[in-house]
Amino acid sequence: MTMRDQAGRVSPGGGQGAWWTSPVVVLPVLALIANAGVYLLATKGVSFIVPIELIGGFAYRFDPSVPVLEALILAFGLWCWSNLSTASAFVAAVVLFVLRVAVAFLWGYLMSKVMPLLPDAVLTMPTSFYGPLFLATAVTGASLLLVLAIYEPAFRAWWPWIVTLLIWAGGATWLFELYHDQFITRLSYHWLYEIVRALGFIPIGYAFRRPLRHFH
């Protein structure tokens, strides 16, 4: 029996037959494995990072391997728990990747135009980058949720957006602040970031539970 079949078996109370097939468990675990794997490869010199130069040597470090893997994970969620066909799930993966990349580059371009207009006193303050970091993570995250909302009505509610983006954007900004203030090391920062990123897939997985309740 496939995971898709197991996930579709919902008890009368709305629970699932096996906790390890729940999207609340599967999606964050897959995300943690994928993103941690990309980071480990990067430490070995295997990386596909494309720096988007902004100003003063500050660059938005974009790695297309992460969007690819996360797009596949989310498309797998649509296929497994929203009953999307394989072809539709593949199209969703492509759209998830392309839109996220487009948004990332557009954001980088906008920042490259806006930041030179700011006073030097603002640009020299490390805290000036907290806002752009929060917004950059929130905007790219929202592009993923927008695609999910197109395919799955459960993501048209407000709560998956707010919770997911608070975890992703708020978590990334908070960790950067801790690192800047030397409360955590560079190594801890990277690993904690992968954990926070994976945690953002928990509310996404919980939203996928909604269509499951209609299968019993």
Q: What is the DSSP string of 63-89?
A: -THHHHHHHHHHHHHHHHHS---HHHH
pTM exceeds cut of 0.75: yes
Given a contact cutoff of 8 angstroms between Cβ atoms, the answer to whether 104 and 140 are in contact is: yes
Name the band, by pLDDT with cuts 50, 70 and 90, for residue 7.
Answer: very low
pLDDT over threshold 80, residue 23: yes
Share of the chain above pLDDT 70, in %: 78
User: Is the dihedral angle over the CA atoms 159, 160, 161, 163 positive or is it negative?
Assistant: positive
User: Which residues are within 8 A (CB) of 73 and not within 5 positions of it... i.e. 6 or more apart?
Assistant: 27, 30, 31, 34, 201
Q: Please tell me what DSSP assigns to residue 22.
A: S
Element (H, E) at 188: helix 186-199
Residue 62 forms beta bridges with which residues? Answer: 50
For 44-57, what is the mean pLDDT? 68
More confident residue, 43 or 51: 43
Q: What is the pLDDT of residues 152-195, one digit of tens each?
A: 999 999 999 999 999 999 999 999 889 888 899 988 999 999 99
Q: Which SS3 state, helix, strand or coil, does residue 53 take?
A: strand
Identify which of 4, 19, 9 has the alpha carbon closest to the alpha carbon of residue 82.
4
DSSP 197-215: HHHTHHHHHHHHHHHHTT-
Residue 53 forms beta bridges with which residues? Answer: 59
pLDDT over threshold 90, residue 114: no
- Residue 110's pLDDT is 84
pLDDT, the chain, mean: 83
- Residue 13's pLDDT is 34
